[in-house]
Amino acid sequence: MEMKSMTLLILYATQTGNALDVAERIAREAERRACTVVISSTDDYDANSLPAEDTVIFVVSTTGQGDTPDSMKVFWRFLLQRNLGSHWLEGIHYAVFGLGDSGYQKYNFVAKKLDKRLSDLGATAVVERGLGDDQHPSGYEAALDPWLSSLWSRLNEIKPHFFPKGPDFLVSNEELIGLPKVQVTYHNVNDMDSRLSTATDFKYLQMQIGRARSMSSGKVPHEKSKPDAFLKMVKNFPLTRASHEKDVRHFEFEFVSQVIKYEIGDVLEVLPSQSPAAVDSFIQRCNLDPESLITVHPREMENRHIDNNVNTLDVPIKLRTFVELTMDVTSASPRRYFFEVMSFFATAEHEKERLQYFASPEGRDDLYQYNQKERRTVVEVLEDFPSVQMPFEWFVQLVPPLKNRAFSISSSPLAHPTQVHLTVDVVSWTTPFKRKRQGLCSTWLASLDPEQSIYIPVWFHKGLLPPPPPSLPLIVIGPGTGCAPFRGFVEERAVQSQCKAKGGGFYAAFSRDQPQKVYVQHKMQEQSERIWNLLCEGAAIYVAGSSTKMPSDVMVAFEEIISKESGAPRESAVRWLRSLEKAGKYHVEAWS
Amino acid sequence: MDSKSERSAVLAITDDTSYAVTALNAYWEFENENPKRFDPLIILQASSLARLPLESYNVDLVIYISRSVEFPFDELYAEIFRVLVPGGSLVVYGLQSGTKEADTAMSAIEHKLLLAGFLDGKRFHLKSVAQSFGVKAKKPSWKLGSSFAIKKKTVKNPLKIQMDDNSDLIDEDSLLTEEDLKKPQLPPVGDCEVGSTRKACKNCTCGRAEQEEKVQKLELTMDQINNPQSACGNCGLGDAFRCSTCPYKGVPPFKLGEKVCFLISFPSASGMNSCM
């Protein structure tokens, strides 16, 4: 028999961090059972090596429109090659756990396809695929807990060599906790860059943000950690009436740093600012000095003697700045593991018990009610558990990273060469416990006063709506803030043609103003003939908006219109639309 | 050169016959060969030669002898290569006035030899002839088109499968079953807890409407806010410890007997705090 790997391999493909979280949990559970385990993202793993493995666990997310996460695209393409044959993975065992949302038609498509493909390539499934569902009352953990149970039990049966200490061996969570994955080094004032952080120097600000975010992600300093540019708000006014439930704003920004050349359809990412009071309160709670100078690095580097040598890549920054820029303490909810680790550091017995309960399978639903559904923040959790004194390193590892918020740009650079415009819904909602919450980034932007000169760090990247050639007829569907990118499209056409687009028209659907709800697909039906004519002229279709269902509803509307106007059967219409997609003439950008 | 008993076919290309004979003799002496073994075919007008009237794989040794600085045309190298047997040799030999020029000439020849496919280029001097120089090289010793064993790698080894853009990919949609393609069933909404977002129907028959009425009544009174008490002792601890029916649900933690403070938790960078 060939010498096969005695290590269990976990491959994950994560988009927002959930699949990574699950992969890490599986790894911890393996370690508790004395099973040697290795975890890797699919974009860090060479698919050529798969046949040399013994058993591989896959944890894969399905993104919004049924696609693989970006980190899995190359890996997946490799697996789809016909010439791999049906014996390439013979002798390999595998298991798949998928994360998805049954609110979408293409529910967990990535996991389902992967499961089938692996089997077609000759591999053997250890257990049936597990499908985590965001729509479930307690999220993906509901499917994960029983799936993991059956995985361990089955692996013990067929692969006992993974468990050298026997099937019943199980290290308690307490013993396993180990050390945090990060290390924080405190520095002398003398090590510090002699320039003080005065906000006017953009290069310095850029460096500071870049450093903080590189340290936080634990990866090699990446050019993308530094913001592409800084913007300043010059206009801020509402698009909705004051009495309206929604507050949608039109923002206009100007470049204060260098001007970045962008295109219509591009996406602007904004690093939101956190409330200074919240950040201070958090630091106080950790009993730390906000002014202390720190560097943060992965714990593996401990073996190399850093000591007094300041790693040239890591210039120290203020603790306060690090927290402010990289640790989300006021908007994102922590994960289950946060509660598990907290339980070790709770000194009050009732708090310890409660935290352990929340971290257990029995307490999973209650945790979901308390934490995920309520959108409980780190600061709020700490308020409820005052006896917990957790070392800062653990916070750095477990507090959700402060994420950029992405917006579709609503201006055309041809019309506004030194400006960027956005159309933003200032989100606010009431939680199940009747608490009023607001979106971090949208609220912050809405609160900015053009007189103030607050600098906004931003990044630019391509979205899913490529700029169309100037003369191509277009059908754009953009309900709500979905109209944002198309405002840019229209501005651009106006500049390009110096006149209104030929035969252009805007058909708006205001769904809440009438007694019966009118949605964009109804308006489409009203314009059925026009739409068909445009399609015959070779029009491309662009759809954008903030709804999960809307894109598929719109697709259905197109199918109906095409079928009706052309007289062709529904299946033909469906096929025709699919070929339109393949030809690159049907684009969707949906955000949640 | 190998000492064969049989005669070796030699081709001499030169532009000066008498000089060629002398040079040849000197060469045999240099190589410790018996001149009688060789009966060279001599071809004249070397400097203008581009084609050889011989069949391929015919000759063991080609000697190109020149008295002047003229050296073979590029095409001739290819011809010589053609007529030589595999393993056969080419010797290019000439006279040059100075060592420097000799060096330059030899480098040029070596380069051309390499381009034509010759191997083992070596320089030499004939002591017996003043100011002579030469380069000799070999034609590789396998015939064109000969095959050698290619190790067949088993599929199991990490054989690098090249990903090329035109490679044939299967249709990924074919991996889904009928079942997979059906619209997924949403999990039952465990929304029985009254007071959450779902509201009772107008003609409610399950009793939810009554429950909701009860919950409305549980809203906090002024007294409950100013002087909060808790029978179970958990109300002040925070949402993490409260019962689902606790009147203080959603309220920040407080101390019993002290007025409850409705902190609006740090909504924006501009921050708002308010205590009622």
pLDDT of A209-256, one tens digit each?
988 988 887 655 556 788 999 999 999 999 887 766 788 999 999 999
Cα A479 to Cα A246: distance, rounded to the nearest angstrom: 14
Please tell me if residue B165 touches chain A, with a CB cutoff of 8 Å: no
Residue whose tokens read 């850029």? A206
Cα A464 to Cα A589: distance, rounded to the nearest angstrom: 6
Please tell me if residue B158 touches chain A, with a CB cutoff of 8 Å: yes
Q: Kindly list the residues from chain A whose CB atom is less than 8 angstroms away from the CB atom of residue B193.
A: 432
Chain A: nearest CA to B81, how far in angstroms? 42
Q: Which residue of A has its CA nearest to B242?
A: A370
- Tokens, residue A164: 């050298």
> Which of A87, A431, A443 is closest, CB to CB, to B267?
A443
Q: Which residue of A has its CA nearest to B248?
A: A433
Q: Which residue of B has its CA nearest to A339?
A: B240
Higher pLDDT, B187 or A540: A540
What percent of the residues of chain A are helix, what percent strand, and what percent coil, each to the nearest 5? 40, 20, 40
- Domains of chain A, earliest start first: 8-171 (3.40.50.360), 474-498+505-590 (3.40.50.80)
Is A11 within 8 Å of A45 (Cβ atoms)? yes
Task: Say whether B172 and A80 touch across the interface (CB within 8 A).
Answer: yes
Residue among B80, B202, B198 nearest B139 (CA): B80
pLDDT reading at A347 higher than 70: yes
φ and ψ of A280, to 5 deg: -60, -45
Paired residues of B14 in beta bridges:
B65
Amino acid residing at A8: L
pLDDT reading at A144 higher than 70: yes
- Tokens, residue B213: 């009425």
pLDDT reading at A304 higher than 50: no
For chain B, count helices (H), then strands (E).
6, 6
Least trusted range by pLDDT, from A299-313, A343-357, B130-144: A299-313
Q: Compute CA distances A118 → A88, A273, A275, whole Å.
A: 10, 44, 48
Alpha carbon dihedral A427, A431, A436, A439, in 10-degree steps, equals -30
- The DSSP annotation for A344-411 comes to HTB-SHHHHHHHHHHHSSTTHHHHIIIIITTT--HHHHHHH-TTB---HHHHHHHSPBPPPEEEEB-S
Mutate to test the interface with B, among A433, A440, A443 (most CBs of B within 10 A): A433
User: What was the pLDDT predicted at A560?
Assistant: 92
Mutate to test the interface with A, among B178, B199, B265 (most CBs of A within 10 A): B265
Chain B: nearest CA to A440, how far in angstroms? 6
> Which of B175, B238, B273 is closest, CB to CB, to A384?
B238
User: What was the pLDDT predicted at A472?
Assistant: 87
Q: Kindly list the residues from chain A whose CB atom is less than 8 angstroms away from the CB atom of residue B157.
A: 51
Residue among B259, B254, B250 nearest B237 (CA): B254
Mutate to test the interface with B, among A48, A382, A437 (most CBs of B within 10 A): A48
Give me the mean pLDDT over the B119-145 stretch.
73
pLDDT of A114-129, one tens digit each?
999 999 999 999 999 9
Q: First and final CA of chain A: distance in angstroms? A: 51
Please tell me if residue B172 touches chain A, with a CB cutoff of 8 Å: yes
Task: Say whether B187 and A137 touch across the interface (CB within 8 A).
Answer: yes
B63-74 per-residue burial string, b: 16 or more CB within 10 A, e: under 16:
bbbbbeeebbbe
Cα A140 to Cα A22: distance, rounded to the nearest angstrom: 9
- Side-chain-side CA neighbours of B61 within 13 Å: the count stands at 23
> Model ipTM?
0.73
Task: Say whether B167 and A431 touch across the interface (CB within 8 A).
Answer: no
Give me the mean pLDDT over the A301-326 stretch.
67
Higher pLDDT, B190 or A39: A39
Higher pLDDT, A472 or B217: A472
pLDDT reading at B269 higher than 60: no
Whole-prediction pTM: 0.70
Task: Say whether B265 and A384 touch across the interface (CB within 8 A).
Answer: no
Give me the mean pLDDT over the A74-87 stretch.
93
- Helices A276-285 & A319-326 angle (0-180, nearest 10): 120
Mutate to test the interface with B, among A101, A116, A427 (most CBs of B within 10 A): A116
Q: Kindly list the residues from chain A whose CB atom is less than 8 angstroms away from the CB atom of residue B167.
A: 81-83
Task: Say whether B175 and A88 touch across the interface (CB within 8 A).
Answer: no
> Which of B168, B180, B250 is closest, CB to CB, to A112?
B180
Cα A69 to Cα A99: distance, rounded to the nearest angstrom: 11
- Rounded to a whole number of angstroms, the CA Rg of chain B reads 50
Q: Which residues contact A73 (CB under 8 A, 6 or more apart)?
A: none
User: What was the pLDDT predicted at A515?
Assistant: 46
Chain B: nearest CA to A433, how far in angstroms? 5
φ and ψ of A161, to 5 deg: -65, -15
pLDDT reading at A425 higher than 80: yes
Least trusted range by pLDDT, from A30-34, A84-88, A586-590, B18-22: B18-22
pLDDT of A31-76, one tens digit each?
889 899 999 999 999 999 999 999 999 999 998 778 899 899 999 9
Residue among A53, A59, A58, A57 nearest A90 (CA): A53
- The DSSP annotation for A84-108 comes to G-SSTTTT-EEEEEEEE-TTSTTTT
pLDDT reading at A287 higher than 80: yes
Task: Say whether B273 and A436 touch across the interface (CB within 8 A).
Answer: no
φ and ψ of A132, to 5 deg: -80, 140
Q: Kindly list the residues from chain A whose CB atom is less than 8 angstroms away from the CB atom of residue B156.
A: 2, 51-52
- Tokens, residue A121: 């390539």
**Percent of all residues in chain A with a pLDDT value above 70, rounded to a whole number:** 90
Higher pLDDT, A214 or A152: A152
Cα A197 to Cα A21: distance, rounded to the nearest angstrom: 35
- Which pLDDT band, with edges at 50, 70 and 90, does B201 fall under? low
